Structure 1
């Protein structure tokens, strides 16, 4: 079966491919920030930016300055930040943006006692910019410098995708809908009008889909796209996930793929900002390694990527980790791509990272001290319990 026909079952329930796009892969802040700032500086009508973290560092400050410049020359600028991820954004920064004319909304602002309410775990985890409804930047990168808050010798490993083409119609509709929804819930009047009409060049050739996870009509689409791709894999699966804690069905498909001769490579964090979460993830490694899945811990810097390549033809880059909070709770956005050229570029970048990572040995993992195994399974069980109590959905 031709590769294109084989992948068509992946795109269902509205997650279908759109042809004619131009895509550019952006790795880490050295490529992401210049591309984002250049697009904002070229904006003539509208800039819409969503982020989980808006940090206070030189890289983020450069984006803030570009937003202010755009607003001062008459561009409509909208900034949507998360109430938890950007809770430390200084009032002075927000005031400077507002004074220049930037409209700022906070997704689910935190309130006293927010940690005691599991519903407050529903966060805006999308990282997405749309400029003039002609160009979008989507991926896993927050507005934070590659070397913050921990300085490694190499920059944080993460990816975004610059998109031009007819897919902008769906991306723009999504950001417009979310902005209007947040404005409505916060009784912000006057935020409904004055949106640009999507337009794009017509010389693209890449087929891609814009896939979101929300709490309404698209609750499982990112997860389903992954599961369908894993089931169809014939030769190779490469997964990079900053936080790896998928459900039983996902892990079963990885084991089945390895059993039928597919090479499965999993790139995970070596250094972590959440040791408890990493301990829970490590509870899963023993069975995966025994099934033939290759697992690599990336320690050259912080791994923050959420990306995959399957059979050198199917690829995804986005904000969604392979864990219950991304797959069941947060608002996420991924690009799914059916294109050998794009998949090849992403695979090359991921293989470079795998070459720098530490491979885990199946025999050594079988001999892990019992106390370490018990602590990992305790952490895993507590996360399962928390997900179950919160009632976010089925995760096993």
Structure 2
């Protein structure tokens, strides 16, 4: 016999929580490339934040867009929001007056891996925090844009880069990105105060209960190489095709080994890369040289000749998407802190592939006969020598300083057995 009182109370509770059900159980998701939309979404998140707003960026300048971001963070802090801003020190060219004002109101500001004119230690100098993400309450932005004018569009920037970003409303992504902030803070012995879910949030939310379904991966070499391990596993398991968009491609032997093996067994590989790049290391290198280690009948390489391509992602067999801050170059594979997301959600993969295919329409296949001037060859050889010397420096363990980070925190549950490949 039905307990009418129980069901009456359940219906009443459901009606009271209905706004939160929409908010937490059926998340909104959008992938986009427009730089102005990146700032619009970021500022909207900051302005609407009620409990916390945490931002991590690899680069930040003194541009109007960056200063507006700081002013909005200050305003959020003034109205009682828990605000955190992490910026990698190498590319931290922000407005010092505004960051000090931000801290004076109680905001947590941190230069990640700070440089010192008198203490430059090999690997530690190169070990940059390359992640880019922002979380505010149940909202999140994750992708490839930094808080600089180069990443804005017509209104808020210079349209220098062609990026991809994800905006979501729903607690699964924001909750796990928040965990990454806490992980980084622990390396610098900083205590963050995370948002504690209310009983209603706990009731309405469980991990991976609703799409999109995410797995989260980070890398902090040499202790943690989850991203590298996942890329290799996905290549090994690929059966039909692999599609890659990577601006900063550079020869990584272990990656090229498994990619060649995949092509030998019939997997078709397609790579979109940049025709021109902002980094001096790559500026004078031809794609026909960068890709000479993987030339194969089952490989097609396209170069993007317009803006500076800045997208980073892998699609395996049209049913697995792996994307984030990770570049397919030696710095990401060997040194940088990176963060990627893996999903098999059909809707998100379709949105990513729509952007991928639109980008591909603006490319051309690389010319393996392309030659350059003698001066360009000299510059290219110089940067090859620089990479070789920096790798020697990178490979020496004397650069590690146990007092700099709490290294015991690196060997945690995120690690998934890096010894198999590295």
TM-score normalized by the length of structure 2 = 0.76
Match of 1:144 among 148, 165, 168: 148
The aligned counterpart of 2:304 is: 298
Conserved 8 A contact 1:211-1:221: yes
Matching residue within 128, 141, 148 for 2:133:
128
Q: Find the counterpart in structure 2 of residue 196 from structure 1.
A: 195
Query: Relative to 1, partners in 2 of residues 1:21 and 1:244: Cα closer, same or farther, differing over 3 Å?
Result: farther
Q: Give 1:93's match in structure 2, choosing from 81, 98, 102.
A: 98
Q: Which residue of 1 aligns with 2:81?
A: 75
The answer to whether the 8 A contact 1:213-1:221 is kept is yes
Alignment match of 1:361 (pick from 355, 358, 367): 367
Contact 2:35–2:152 (CA under 8 A) maintained in structure 1 = no
Alignment of 1:44-63 (within 5 A): 44-63=50-69
Q: Report the Cα offset of residue 222 of structure 1.
A: 0.7
* Unaligned ranges ≥5, structure 1: 1-18, 185-190
Deviations 1:318-343 (A, max 9, x none): 11111121122111111111122211
1:255 aligns with 2:260: yes
Question: Aligned residue for 1:7?
Answer: none
In the aligned structure 2, how far is the partner of 1:288 from the partner of 1:334? 24
Q: CA deviation at 1:20?
A: 8.7
TM-score (norm 1): 0.81
Shift of 1:346: 0.6
Distance across 1 between alignment mates of 2:185 and 2:286: 34
Which one of 108, 113, 129 corresponds to residue 108 of structure 1? Answer: 113
How much has 1:315 moved relative to structure 2? 0.8
Match status 1:268 vs 2:267: no
Post-superposition Cα deviations, 1:20-72, rounded to whole Å, max 9, x if no partner, equal 97643232423322222111111111111111111222322232222122111
Instruction: State the distance in 2 between where 1:109 and 1:267 align.
Output: 34
Deviation of the 1:246 alpha carbon: 4.3
Q: CA deviation at 1:288?
A: 2.7
Which of residues 352, 355, 360 is equivalent to 1:349?
355
CA RMSD, 1 decimal? 3.3
Displacement after TM superposition at 1:80 (Å): 1.0
CA, structure 1 residues 215+227, in 2 after alignment: closer, same or farther (shift >3 Å)? closer
2:320 equivalent to 1:307:
no
SS at match of 2:342: strand
CA contact (8 A) 2:152 2:158 kept: no
Q: 1:386 aligned to 390, 394, 408, which one? A: 390
* Aligned mates of 1:165, 1:149 — CA distance in 2: 28
**Deviation of the 1:260 alpha carbon:** 3.4
* Partner residue, 2:161: 156
Structure 1 residue 215, shift from structure 2 partner: 4.0
Aligned-partner Cα distance in 1 for 2:364–2:120: 35
Equivalenced residue count is: 366
- Report the 3-state secondary structure (helix = DSSP H, G, I; strand = E; otherwise coil) of the residue aligned with 2:162: coil
Q: Distance in 2 between matches of 1:194 and 1:276?
A: 40
1:43 maps to which residue? 49
Taking a change above 3 Å as real, the CA distance of residues 110 and 154 of structure 1, as seen in their structure-2 partners, is closer
- Kept in 2: contact 1:239–1:307 (CA 8 A): yes
CA distance in structure 1 between the partners assigned to 2:121 and 2:225 by the alignment:
26
Check whether the contact 2:122–2:396 (CA below 8 A) recurs between aligned residues.
Answer: no
Structure number, greater radius of gyration: 2
Tell whether the 8 Å contact from 1:152 to 1:300 is kept in structure 2 after alignment. Answer: no
Gaps of 5+ in 2: 1-24, 398-418
- Name the SS of the counterpart of 2:217 in structure 1: strand
Q: Secondary structure at the match of 2:41?
A: helix
Partner of 1:236: 241
